Each structure stands twice: as structure tokens, then as C-alpha cells.
Amino acid sequence: MTLQSRAGGITGRPKPVSAALLVSLVILGVILLVSPAIARSSSEPGTKSDSKCLKCHSRKRNKTLKDGDVLSLQVSKTEYANSVHGDIGCTSCHQAIAARKHPSRESIASKRQLSLTLNQSCRKCHAKNFKVYESSIHASLVAEGNLMAPLCTDCHSAHAIESMAVYQPVTGLPCKKCHENIYEAYAQSVHGGARANGNVIRDSHIQAPICADCHQAHGVTAVAASNYLQSTCLDCHPDASLAHRQWLPNAGLHLDVVSCAACHAPLAERRINLELYDNTAQLPVGQHNDHAQIKKQLHAIDETGAGLDPLELWNLVRANSEDGQETDITLRGRMEVSTGPEAHRLAIKAEAVRNCDSCHHKGSDAFQNVVVSITRPDGRQISYEADKEVLSSIMSVASVRDFYAPGGTRIQLLDVLLVLSLVGGLAIPLGHITVGKILKKRTKQGDQ
């Protein structure tokens, strides 16, 4: 039964006017529902002033900068209109521009300089994310004058801004743009593979992580800084601690001093990173004081530049401990993967290193590469090569006092003492028996 016939049934006659009204309302509703979508898909940006801007800027225009570089002033109408900023208006970001104040005659030093100036515009609307960004390793590199360090527009683009959620899970951009080798390694990892496979790992549907899930989108920290990455792993793998405790002796210690990737990227080259650490301040040396000074000191100690030997390393620790009277400086050891790309090539659980013998024996690959690191205030580390003997010298008792792997980093002098004790323990009985026999023989000869 239709609405019309039912209404007619009540009144006895049809009411075409009411039906027309109803149809009109439905059409209006549909128009209202779809109108934003139509607006978003149109190639016209939201405000009237934008049309004015784009009147010129949609055409091909260039500006020669002070450094000789050429800046394109062209903005794609469609891209901008379809971007998440499509309806906020050009002057929301280009605040220095008004009807009678157009900087076309002002010279621009360089593309980078322009981006640096405009970067501050983002802060106005995205204060929270901008603050997080300012604490990141990216912002730290920008402050250092690194021209490759990303500004907001390097990741989000200037005019074709999209929500990160739209494109990163598919392409790896924008991180891949600068960290391509790392992204390629990630793509081959269990995480990358799962993503390519529709987020399926071992027949289970799992939301596999991409760059920002582990490193954060805006607050990207130096990998060496704190145990941030390990806690990120444990966030998604909360049972990992317990699972390790089921079989791994001193599991808590292993989780502290062995990076997840050192075992879960089984083909990666590993190394021991000895970080100069201030036990008194509970901070890495260099993070709260002058790392450049320590850098100089390190160069002075390692005169030959061939890498720190056990004595030089001991001198470095001693020099820093004496410097501040009450400071207690030590070297915190950590096993990690030698390179960033290798650290991202995480394998499936079944392929992870589970054989203790792989590290706990003399000559293990894990202890062939040793670096000594000073941590900069932003968390990045400056690493210097060290002789692998620093881990097995008797001087390590004083210098590398907080890092020890039974079997793998055993002190050679103690091996000598063990041999002496074995020889002595066998020589005493044998010598005593021999002396006894000689004396008995002489006594017999004397009696005869």
C-alpha cells in the first residue's frame, strides 16, 4: 500500500499537493546531503578571495629567487580545492598577503627560506601537533640548519594537503621520500609483508604498523633516545615480556640491553653500543652537558683515530668521572642492529634468534663490532669505533662495568688464571707423588 492510497483511504480523496510537498522535501534533503560532496569535488576553492588569488596563481608563473633558484607560483586549482585546506582560504596560511599588500616585489632568499617562514602559519591551527613537532628530531635538524630536514609542507605538501590516514598506509609516503632504504627494508619485514597481504599475519587479521605507528607522526625521536622504541613494540605485543620470561634466563635484563631487532631481525649485523652514561644525573653524558667538549676529549684520547682501545676507553671514563668530582660515569652497553635499514627487516617470530649460544660464546658475531657513543641533547648519538677487546680486557671491570655477556665477553686474564689453577691443582698431587717416589727410592738405596 502506498502512502498516497492510504491517505486517500482516510479522507476518501487523494491529496496531490501534500504528495508534491513530500517529494520536494525528499529532493531537498538529498541535495543538502550531497551538496558538501559536490562542493568538495568541484574544482573551485571555497572562498571568493581564493578565486581572486587563483586567477593569477592557477597560471604558470615563476619567480627567480635570490639564490638563483626558480620558484613556481602556480597552484593547481583542483588539487587545492580537493585538499583538506580547500575551504579555509589562501590567506589563512599566506597571512602576509592582503589586497593592497602583495609581496610580489619583495625578494625571497630561497625556497627553503620561504618554507621556513610559512612553516609558522601551521602553528596557528595545529598548535598541538606543531608543539610535538618542535620536540622532534626533525625540528632539531631544522634548527641545526639541515636543509634536508622536513618542514610541515615537506610531509603534508603545500597545497594538496591530505589526511595522513589517506595515503601513508598505502604508499609509505611521506617518510619513504627521505628514508627510502629503510622503507624498502620495512616492506620486506613481517610488518610490511602483513600490510601488503591485507594486514594478515599467521591467518589472523592484524593491523600491522607503518612508520608513524612506531616512530610517531610529529614527535619523531632519535632511535637511540631512551627505550622508546622498545616500549612501542611492547604496546602492540603486550605478552612479549611474559613470553620471554617463559624461557629466557634474566629476561628483564635481556629486554633492557638487547634491542628487539637484535634478535627479531636475525640476518642483521649486530653491534655493541657503549653509551657514556652519568649515573649521578641518570642521563646519558652529553645530553645535559657539553657534548662537544666530550667529543674533543675523545679525539684527544684516541690520538691515532684507530678506535678506542681498552686503556683509552678506561681513560675516557676516568677523565669524565674526575672532571666533576662527584659524578659517576660508566658505559651502558646495549646490543643493537648496526644499521637503520637492517633494524626494520623484522622477521616472523619463528625466525627470530632464540639460540643463546649465538651470543654466549667467545668470538660471537655480536661482539665483533663495538662503538662508544656520546648522546647529543636531542637524543642523537655520535658513535666512535672501539676495539672489540674493550669487552674482554681486565680494564672493562672498571670501564664497561655494567655490560657483560657470560661466555661472549669473558675477560681473557681470568682464562689464564683458570689454566694456572688447573695446572697447579694437578701439579701439586703429581709433584707430591713424584717426590714421595724419589724419597722412597733413595731410602731403599740407602738401606741397601
Element (H, E) at 341: helix 340-344
Asked whether the beta carbons of 190 and 160 are under 8 A apart, the reply is: no
Task: Please pick, from the candidates 239, 326, 357, 447, the single residue that binds other proteins as defined by CB under 8 A.
Answer: 357
- In this structure, how many other beta carbons lie within 10 angstroms of the beta carbon of residue 67? 11
Q: Kindly indicate which of the ranges 15-23, 60-68, 307-315, 399-407 contains the residues binding other proteins, using the contact rule CB under 8 A.
A: 399-407
Q: Is 191:209 a contact under the CB 8 Å cutoff? A: yes
Run of H or E residues at 91: helix 90-93
Using CB under 8 A as the criterion, what x/- string covers residues 255-284 for binding other proteins? -x----------------------x-----
User: Would you count residue 14 as binding other proteins (CB under 8 A)?
Assistant: no
Rounded-to-10 torsion of CA 386, 277, 131, 218 = 40
Helix count and strand count (H, E) for the chain: 23, 9
Among 239, 247, 304, 448, binds other proteins (CB under 8 A): 247
H or E stretch at 125: helix 111-125
Q: Kindly indicate which of the ranges 7-15, 55-63, 103-111, 245-253 contains the residues binding other proteins, using the contact rule CB under 8 A.
A: 245-253
As a residue count, the chain comes to: 448
Smallest separation (angstroms) from other proteins to the CB of 297: 22
Q: Which amino acid is it at 429?
A: P
What are the cell numbers at 16? 496531490
111 binds other proteins (CB under 8 A): no
Site stretch for other proteins (CB under 8 A), options 40-48, 191-199, 229-237, 350-358: 350-358
| Pairwise CA distance, residues 154 & 218, whole Å | 12
Stretch that binds other proteins, among 160-168, 284-292, 365-373, 407-415 (CB under 8 A): 407-415
| E strand or H helix that includes residue 432 | helix 412-447
Interface with other proteins (CB under 8 A), residue from 127, 243, 401, 412: 401
Q: Is the peptide bond before 238 cis (omega within 30 degrees of 0)?
A: no
d(CA 228, CA 216): 11
Residue 21 interacts with other proteins (CB under 8 A): yes or no? no
* Nearer CB in complex with other proteins: 71/240: 240
Largest CA distance in the chain: 154
- Binding of other proteins at residue 365 (CB under 8 A)? no
If one asks whether residue 318 binds other proteins (CB under 8 A), the answer comes out as no
Q: Does 397 engage in binding with other proteins (CB under 8 A)?
A: yes
Please identify which residue in 361, 378, 385, 389 interacts with other proteins, judged by CB under 8 A.
Answer: 361
Which residue in the block uniquely carries the three cell numbers 674526575? Answer: 322
**Segment lying near other proteins (by CB under 8 A), choices 53-61, 72-80, 317-325, 405-413:** 405-413
Binding site for other proteins (CB under 8 A): 247, 249-250, 252-253, 256, 279, 330, 355-357, 360-363, 396-397, 400-404, 406-407, 410-411, 414, 417-418, 421-422, 424-426, 428-429, 432, 435-436, 439-440, 443
